[in-house]
Amino acid sequence: MRAVIAAGAGGPEVLSVSDVPDVEPGPGEVAITVAATAVNRADLLQRQGFYPPPPGASDVIGLECSGTIAALGAEVDGWEVGDEVCALLAGGGYASRVVVPAGQVMPVPDGVDLVTAAAIPEVAATVWSNVFMVAGLQPTESLLVHGGAGGIGTFAIQLASQLGARVFTTGGTSDKLAACAALGADVTINYRDEDFVQVVRDRTDGAGVDVILDNMGAKYLGRNVEALALQGRLVIIGMQGGTKGELDISALLRKRGAVIATSLRSRPVAEKAAICASLVEHVWPLVAEGLVRPVVHSTMPLEDVAAAHALMESGEHLGKIVLTV
């Protein structure tokens, strides 16, 4: 099989494609012949040496893929060799073949081509598990999505909007914010020249938003709590603005608010399987109807992996970057 290997930690140039020994499925696992994978911000951190794979996971970067089932390990029910699928991975996606626990394998949603399906598992699982399963966003509530034009953001806006919530989002350019509005964001905020707390207050009669999906971490911690409504839930999934912030507990306490932080990759296999099953039940029908669609900025061959990482680092992308294998 072919896989992206890294010549040490460093910039995009450390990545190249090489021949490596085939991986084989163990009990409860399937092997997938990969059609495509997609770039996630965590991949950049792993390449730089800051985000090692969890114990037992492949050293090869890549948190999601689409493809065809090539082999079944023992004790796998419900899948056949040849099935077209997509999968949530703990690693190993930047390769022509990957093994994954069967519970993290999902059918390709109807109406989505096999390559584009690679752009769905990580964003769908992150958004669904955090915004809906953890924060319990209700159709009558509001959601603030930071970084609405990113892979996570474009999916979160569509899903929350389809489920009836009022969606606020931040972004860095007017073009990106226009795209967010087209995806269903009701209120768009340019984080470079507007104060999101003030805009949220102005547009909610001072009440604040019920749920915040945050990619910035420390930099926005205090302001996110200010922007929360009574009984609001702040879910932190990223640390693009640092890891150590200061929290005014009295402000959180007065709001009876919650601050939650989660990581998908390190969760036990059974939890990931439950998230995937919930996705197929609740989110796949919306994708099949075209109400929620993966937003793909560009599709590049796996050999261009360094250029794909450089593109994500530039911040010029809108939505996902897909790599075909």
Check binding of 149 to ligand NAP (CB under 6 A). Answer: yes
Q: How far is the CB of 153 from ligand NAP (least distance, A)?
A: 5
Check binding of 262 to ligand NAP (CB under 6 A). Answer: yes
Per CB under 6 A, the list member of 93, 147, 257, 294 interacting with ligand NAP is 147
The pair phi, psi for residue 235, each rounded to 5°, is -110, 115
Per CB under 6 A, the list member of 47, 97, 146, 309 interacting with ligand NAP is 146
Rounded to whole angstroms, the Cα distance separating 101 from 117 reads 18
Query: Which region among 27-35, 39-47, 102-110, 244-252 touches ligand NAP (by CB under 6 A)?
Result: 39-47
Q: 256: exposed, middle or buried (C-beta count within 10 Å: 0-12, 13-18, 19+)? A: exposed
Residue whose CB is less far from ligand NAP, 30 or 38 = 38
Query: Which region among 37-45, 96-104, 200-208, 251-259 touches ligand NAP (by CB under 6 A)?
Result: 37-45
Q: State the number of binding residues for ligand NAP (CB under 6 A).
A: 27
Per CB under 6 A, the list member of 28, 73, 172, 222 interacting with ligand NAP is 172
Ordered alpha helix ranges (H), 132-268: 151-162, 174-183, 196-203, 221-227, 249-254
First-last CA distance in the chain: 11
Check binding of 152 to ligand NAP (CB under 6 A). Answer: yes
Per CB under 6 A, the list member of 202, 263, 290, 301 interacting with ligand NAP is 263
293's CB contacts (< 8 A; 6+ apart) are: 112, 158, 287
Which amino acid does the sequence have at 234? L
Residue whose CB is less far from ligand NAP, 1 or 145 = 145
Residue 314 burial (CB count, 10 A): 8
Q: How far is the CB of 280 from ligand NAP (least distance, A)?
A: 19
Residues 183-222 that bind ligand NAP (CB under 6 A): 191, 215-216
Per CB under 6 A, the list member of 29, 32, 37, 41 interacting with ligand NAP is 41
The pair phi, psi for residue 174, each rounded to 5°, is -65, -35
Q: How far is the CB of 22 from ligand NAP (least distance, A)?
A: 28
Q: How far is the CB of 98 from ligand NAP (least distance, A)?
A: 18
Residue whose CB is less far from ligand NAP, 25 or 161 = 161
Residue whose CB is less far from ligand NAP, 84 or 271 = 271
290's CB contacts (< 8 A; 6+ apart) are: 111
Residue whose CB is less far from ligand NAP, 122 or 141 = 122
The pair phi, psi for residue 242, each rounded to 5°, is 100, 170
Check binding of 93 to ligand NAP (CB under 6 A). Answer: no
Residue whose CB is less far from ligand NAP, 238 or 294 = 238
Binding site for ligand NAP (CB under 6 A): 40-42, 122, 126, 146-147, 149-153, 170-172, 176, 191, 215-216, 237-238, 240, 262-264, 312, 315
